[in-house]
Structure 1
Amino acid sequence: MNAAIQARTRGPLRPPELAAAAVFGALTAVLAVVTGLIPVGVAQVLVALPIAFLAAANRMRAVVAATLAASVVAVVAGGPFAAAAVVVLAGVGTLVGFADRRWGNAAVLVVFGGSLPGGVLLAALLVGLLWIFEETRILLLDTLVTSMQGMARAFEAAGAGEQFLDAVARTTEFLRDFWWLWIGAAVVVGVVGTALLCFGVFRMVAQSSRRSSASVTWPVEDRAATPAPLPVALRLVSYRYPDSRNDALADIDLTVSPGEFVAVVGRNGSGKSTLARILAGIAPTAGLVDRPGPVGLGAHGGTVLVFQHPETQVLGRTVAEDLRWGTTGDIDVEHLLTRVGLAGLADRATEDLSGGQLQRLALAAALARAPKLLIADEITAMVDTDSRIALIDLLADIARDGTAVVLVTHLDDEAASADRVIHLEQGRIVPSPAPPPRRTAVAAAPPPEPLPILELRGVTHTYAAGTPWAHTALRDVSLSIGRGEGVLVVGANGSGKSTLAGILAGLHRPTHGSCTLHDTPTADLHGAVGLVFQQARLQLQRPTVAEEISDVAGLPHTDRDYAAAVLHRVGLSVALAERPVDRLSGGEMRRVAIAAQLARTPRVLVLDEPLAGLDVAGRQELVSILAHLRTVENVTVVVISHDLHGMETVCSRTVVLDNGAVVDDGYRAVAE
């Protein structure tokens, strides 16, 4: 039978709610302290915004927790008056968030109607306190009168007439005699104005962020119920994302039993990740999902989902802290870390981990919950070849221990380790396709006379230098890269490849040594070295493709014709310029990120794991684009990767990193 899912409106805060309360509470406290130093009243609206966003998506007790945390910090940093301001502005933010969530288009009226009595109540409280504490009131009014009199004398010295001075004197007398009226009115106007302004800013930001995202609703289950996610049967299941005209999945019939190792294979955009979400508890738009009990997403003995990008799942400050996040009992940290290949890293700061190490940590955190169903969505995309083989073997071992494993992948060799392979195409299950014909690769040749343009001399880089958490990622690296050269940088996870990419692009200034482009430190340049991140989505910051390209290019406005021309340069349709970035496939995001960097006409293009998460066709297209940029347009291309397939047509030189040091730098065949 179907698991009963009910709204959770009571009970203690869940780990995601605690995380949200902590983050938004800290942000509120920081803004309260910073805006307290800004002599502009409008800046105080910023303090209410984090609570407004928290209230728009969470329970009241999460809002209360965040407000209390922010108030404690405000007391320490600014005293009781700062804490009082945080409480008042948090109340404004709470009103804005809940009004937007419950009343939609009528929310502005609710904000006005709710802030008006709140302002009157706060005004009455303040006037009452000034009435009781007479000495404070007298001091306040005497200061005001003295200021007004000083202003009158200044105007008199400047030649102001008697009529103006008389008006200032009458105004001063009114403010002194009717202090309760103008102070109360100012408080009411301030509260109502702050609430309306906060609502306007909130709506503007919220609409901008929602415009390009196709959101899904994860189920909220009764955590007291025992998870029973397996066996799970999908019967004629279809799913269509909000605002989409086509089904992402259609007529899916699939059963997953305990202890099975199932691989789901297909091209980018075929519906693999959507199927993983359905198995993890998302309700289909059509069809039936039958399981014996609650899916138990994230619960002990339930279902765990490990995503392609581990940054979205790593929450702890250290590796051990992240493993314990959200768990209720004792866990064997060292055993879990050893099992996923992270032995000895329990005390390592999570921000110092490489992409592959973060992926292993996310898998270890999933195993800490002893799941019945483990769904791995492209988890090998960011790891080296040896680590990829080890992770697939680990997933097979987990399945043999009784946990059902569903692996989403586009690599046939990974799928071969599974008990059963499900092929998806355009959202439907299809028979196993014939293998694509192998293309003969033409090895790239080095430039005839490469003129050195990018120089690294004795580069050493240490994260958190001078602290107990110091970690040296690069050690005495010296390289010379020529104009129009293609260089492949390889190495195991944690060898320093991503740190090297950041230094080449000028994101990091080396702790020791130098990295220069034509004798100028790359950290002092802007746009001369383009960098495409491992996760291309993280660097696409604007709502649409045209806005992203125009913004990165530094144009004062969105130039759709220019964006279309740049898209054509990387083999994308010009019609893509108007598409929201969240509606792009993984391969399209990667090419849009490259197009945006090319719009800055860089001399060097650095790509960090450009093939990660791409299917065979996407890899071939991207490799062809990079080869064209290098050989035809003479762009220097540096590829940071553990995936060598196809790179021989782009790069003629391989640099090998090991433990932060260059152990090989030669013009040998990339595919060797």
Structure 2
Amino acid sequence: MNAATRPRTRGPLRPPELAAAAVFGALTAVLSVVAGLIPIGVAQVLVALPVAFLAITGRVRTVIAATTAAGVVALIAGGPFAVAAVVLLAAIGTLVGFAQRRWGRSAVFVIFACSVPMGLAVAAAVIGLLVVFERTRVLLLEALVNTMRGMLTAFEAAGSGPELSRVVNEAIDFLVAYWWLWIGSAVVLGVVGTALLAFGIFASVAQRTTWPRQQAEWPERTTTREPGPLPVKLNSVSYRYANATVDALCDVDLTITEGEFVAVVGANGSGKSTLARILAGFDPTSGFVDRPGPVGLGAQMGTVLVFQHPEAQVLGRTVGEDLRWGTSNDIDIDALLARVGLEGMADRATEDLSGGQQQRLALAAALARSPKLLIADEITAMVDADSRTALIGLLGEIAAGGTTVVLITHLDDETARADRVVHLDRGRIIDRPAPTPRRAAIPAEPPAQWLPALELRDVTHTYAARTPWAHTALRNVSLTVGRGEGVLVVGANGSGKTTLAWTIAGLLRPTSGTCTVHDTPTSNVRGEVGLVFQQARLQLQRPTVAREISEVAGLHDTDYQYVAAVLKRVGLSVDLAVRPIDQLSGGEMRRVAIAAQLSRAPRVLVLDEPLAGLDTAGRQELISILVHLRTVEHVTIIVISHDLHGMEEVCSRTVVLEHGTVVDDGSKAAA
């Protein structure tokens, strides 16, 4: 939607706006502090850019909130003058952003016309302050005069003539007599120049970003009526994402009542997450959603959502602090933690929790709002088998306590505790499908001809080395992986698996030791090693699937035929090529990330939890792809996973990590 025709939002700041104001305000403050330490005047221009990004899409009150936050930090770090600088640069950023939104490239004339009176106003303020604070003005002028006379003395000692002395003395007399003129002119030129330079930089960046088109679609919270999310009835509900050619949901009829435990099951892309969004307050493209009151997303006695990545929902420094975030202070923290199996952990640092514990904390934070409807979207995708069983049991207990639970999952074996199971296929509710027979696994064999491809020699990596917060994640790791070999890396949470993956991919340089691919340090090569993150969304940086794959592949233009061929390799529909990244399911994001990495034809492919969030068919397709890459194309495959089912077909060797050390490199098993 064009910014100029976007419906006007009124009322207090919404959660996405608050988040944007906090992030961009903090960025503005950091840039202002850093710019103050750099002896280059143009660095100040960068301070205006974060506010410009807010202004191009946000409301004025969002910009004011960000500027206020930045000003508070600037006051602490640099005093009143730093606050004045931040406010002035934020005003310039606001002008740049609004002008770009309204007039595009022709905004340069508007910015010039508006920055001149802004500069005159600032110049008048500066001159007024210098008139009032006469001693400050005298000290400023004396420092200037002394500097110029010192330079003159140096030139005279070097043999300069009397003419230079006359010119310099006349210039000094002019600057002292007409200080208001040259200071005012310098301020005006500085403001106008900063505005124009900021616009030039911002316009160039804005052409390469999709920020202006990424709008939050979550419903507004209402404070005028009590939440009433249940019972909820969907009547012929359909939903189609922008630019899509088919509906993500099609003609869905569904009623969910109080106290139910409903499991929604389906393959990746079947519409499960879209259904969850409709239940959480999205307006359907067609059809009707009937509720007795507002959905109350995130409100007390309303609706809460828990996602598959708990770290994205954990905000507090400690467990107790996280539970208090956004809620009243009188909640019974100990009782909440006991309910989810985290007894006695109120003072525990959230960063020290395992994945299963973080997911339990996310559930506890949801329960702190005493919700009537709890939607759990693939919350077991990133945890091991024991944690998965415990989380499903916990959801059953929550439902038994009177809270309606909707579990979104692709695994049929997670539905045993549910009162009712809803099966989705291609956006439609269907009868329970016949179980898909599992094919017999064919164990992987080591390469027939073993040639070293990847070598780690005494690799140690310490985060925040030589600081009080130093933490060693890898200790003297030595490992050799052959060309076309499949290696599975296992270990408990915190054992160093992800650090090892990032080191192999060249994203981290070892603190000591070497990591090489074909005798070249992995940190010095591009395209030789592909890495698929555990959270695939973090590496999907382009707005659509087609652009993501095309640009990662190094293509200058989006090639839809090439994209279609790559998507087919990972079992995805060609229709997804035009789909925005944020409208993909978790499993679809993972396969798109894999497809993008395969487009670079890497020699080594590292996958961090590749099976998380994939349905049975998707797992089998991905395993087949990895087997083909390893056996036919001789790509070295390194898999980091706690989900071992099917990995025996890809990996012939298992490496075990404990506390950052290799305790078993699998060489005996491989032999």
TM-score, scaled to structure 1: 0.82
Match of 1:42 in 2: 42
Query: 1:230: how far off?
Result: 1.0
Task: Determine if contact 1:301/1:371 at 8 Å carries over to the other structure.
Answer: yes
Which range moved further: 423-432 or 99-108?
A: 99-108
How far apart are the structure 2 equivalents of 1:669 and 1:327?
Answer: 53
Q: Secondary structure at the match of 1:36?
A: helix
The structure-2 alpha-carbon separation of the partners of 1:643 and 1:341, relative to structure 1 and needing over 3 Å to count, comes to farther
Which range moved further: 88-97 or 394-403?
A: 88-97
Query: 1:487: how far off?
Result: 1.6
Unaligned runs of 5+ in 1: 1-5
Match of 2:615 in 1: 615
Q: Secondary structure at the match of 1:35?
A: helix
Match of 1:194 in 2: 194
Task: Determine if contact 2:630/2:636 at 8 Å carries over to the other structure.
Answer: yes
Match of 1:85 in 2: 85
Task: Determine if contact 1:655/1:665 at 8 Å carries over to the other structure.
Answer: yes
Task: Determine if contact 2:410/2:615 at 8 Å carries over to the other structure.
Answer: yes
Task: Determine if contact 1:214/1:242 at 8 Å carries over to the other structure.
Answer: no
Task: Determine if contact 2:257/2:404 at 8 Å carries over to the other structure.
Answer: yes
Which range moved further: 104-113 or 494-503?
A: 104-113
Task: Determine if contact 1:249/1:428 at 8 Å carries over to the other structure.
Answer: yes
Task: Determine if contact 1:652/1:668 at 8 Å carries over to the other structure.
Answer: no
Match of 1:322 in 2: 322
Match of 1:409 in 2: 409
The structure-2 alpha-carbon separation of the partners of 1:490 and 1:549, relative to structure 1 and needing over 3 Å to count, comes to same
Q: Give identity over the alignment, percent.
A: 70
Task: Determine if contact 1:8/1:222 at 8 Å carries over to the other structure.
Answer: no
The structure-2 alpha-carbon separation of the partners of 1:505 and 1:313, relative to structure 1 and needing over 3 Å to count, comes to same
Task: Determine if contact 2:564/2:577 at 8 Å carries over to the other structure.
Answer: no
Matching residue's letter, 1:23: V
Task: Determine if contact 2:488/2:653 at 8 Å carries over to the other structure.
Answer: yes
How far apart are the structure 2 equivalents of 1:662 and 1:355?
Answer: 22
How far apart are the structure 1 equivalents of 2:627 and 2:271?
Answer: 30
Query: 1:183: how far off?
Result: 3.2
Matching residue's letter, 1:180: W
Query: 1:588: how far off?
Result: 5.3
How far apart are the structure 2 equivalents of 1:78 and 1:223?
Answer: 39
Task: Determine if contact 2:323/2:365 at 8 Å carries over to the other structure.
Answer: yes
Task: Determine if contact 2:244/2:579 at 8 Å carries over to the other structure.
Answer: no
Match of 1:302 in 2: 302
Which range moved further: 449-458 or 114-123?
A: 449-458
Query: 1:379: how far off?
Result: 1.2
Which range moved further: 290-299 or 444-453?
A: 444-453
Q: Deviations over 1:30-57 (max 9, x none)?
A: 1001112334433322212223444566
| 1:220 maps to 2:220 | yes
Matches within 5 A, 1:372-411: 372-411=372-411
Match of 2:646 in 1: 646
Q: Deviations over 1:377-410 (max 9, x none)?
A: 1111111111112111111211111111111111
Query: 1:257: how far off?
Result: 0.9
Matching residue's letter, 1:234: L
Task: Determine if contact 1:570/1:591 at 8 Å carries over to the other structure.
Answer: no
Q: Deviations over 1:414-462 (max 9, x none)?
A: 2343222222233232333333343333221122454455455676766
Match of 1:539 in 2: 539
How far apart are the structure 2 equivalents of 1:557 and 1:400?
Answer: 56
The structure-2 alpha-carbon separation of the partners of 1:164 and 1:579, relative to structure 1 and needing over 3 Å to count, comes to farther
Q: Secondary structure at the match of 2:210?
A: helix
How far apart are the structure 1 equivalents of 2:452 and 2:334?
Answer: 47
| 1:567 maps to 2:569 | no
Match of 2:631 in 1: 631
Which range moved further: 339-348 or 387-396?
A: 339-348
The structure-2 alpha-carbon separation of the partners of 1:593 and 1:20, relative to structure 1 and needing over 3 Å to count, comes to closer
Which range moved further: 587-596 or 569-578?
A: 569-578
Query: 1:7: how far off?
Result: 6.7
Task: Determine if contact 2:241/2:583 at 8 Å carries over to the other structure.
Answer: no
Q: Deviations over 1:542-570 (max 9, x none)?
A: 446676567657x6966959976993894
Task: Determine if contact 1:214/1:582 at 8 Å carries over to the other structure.
Answer: no
Task: Determine if contact 1:48/1:90 at 8 Å carries over to the other structure.
Answer: yes
| 1:9 maps to 2:8 | no
Match of 2:440 in 1: 440
Matches within 5 A, 1:201-216: 201-202=201-202, 205=205, 208-210=208-210, 215-216=215-216
Match of 2:365 in 1: 365
The structure-2 alpha-carbon separation of the partners of 1:653 and 1:330, relative to structure 1 and needing over 3 Å to count, comes to farther
How far apart are the structure 1 equivalents of 2:464 and 2:354?
Answer: 15
Matching residue's letter, 1:392: I
Unaligned runs of 5+ in 2: 1-7
Matching residue's letter, 1:638: I
Matches within 5 A, 1:543-562: 543=543, 548=548
Q: Deviations over 1:181-216 (max 9, x none)?
A: 443344334334434544555555456443796645
Q: Secondary structure at the match of 1:655?
A: strand
Task: Determine if contact 1:352/1:463 at 8 Å carries over to the other structure.
Answer: no
TM-score, scaled to structure 2: 0.82
RMSD, matched Cα = 4.5
How far apart are the structure 2 equivalents of 1:307 and 1:351?
Answer: 18
Match of 1:497 in 2: 497
Query: 1:144: how far off?
Result: 5.4
Matching residue's letter, 2:81: F
The structure-2 alpha-carbon separation of the partners of 1:584 and 1:367, relative to structure 1 and needing over 3 Å to count, comes to closer
The structure-2 alpha-carbon separation of the partners of 1:56 and 1:317, relative to structure 1 and needing over 3 Å to count, comes to farther
Matching residue's letter, 2:289: V
Q: Secondary structure at the match of 2:623?
A: helix
Match of 1:3 in 2: none
Aligned length: 662
How far apart are the structure 1 equivalents of 2:462 and 2:347?
Answer: 17
Match of 2:4 in 1: none
Q: Deviations over 1:474-531 (max 9, x none)?
A: 6776654333221222345555433332344344456787756567765676655432
Which range moved further: 652-661 or 395-404?
A: 652-661
Match of 1:261 in 2: 261
Query: 1:375: how far off?
Result: 0.8
Task: Determine if contact 1:271/1:426 at 8 Å carries over to the other structure.
Answer: yes
How far apart are the structure 1 equivalents of 2:545 and 2:9?
Answer: 37
Query: 1:256: how far off?
Result: 1.1
The structure-2 alpha-carbon separation of the partners of 1:565 and 1:229, relative to structure 1 and needing over 3 Å to count, comes to closer
Matching residue's letter, 2:11: T
| 1:605 maps to 2:613 | no
How far apart are the structure 2 equivalents of 1:339 and 1:657?
Answer: 32
Q: Secondary structure at the match of 2:37?
A: coil
How far apart are the structure 1 equivalents of 2:329 and 2:612?
Answer: 35
Matches within 5 A, 1:133-212: 133-141=133-141, 177-199=177-199, 201-202=201-202, 205=205, 208-210=208-210
Match of 2:431 in 1: 431
Task: Determine if contact 2:63/2:94 at 8 Å carries over to the other structure.
Answer: yes
Match of 2:5 in 1: none
The structure-2 alpha-carbon separation of the partners of 1:404 and 1:477, relative to structure 1 and needing over 3 Å to count, comes to farther
Matching residue's letter, 1:77: A
Q: Secondary structure at the match of 2:624?
A: helix
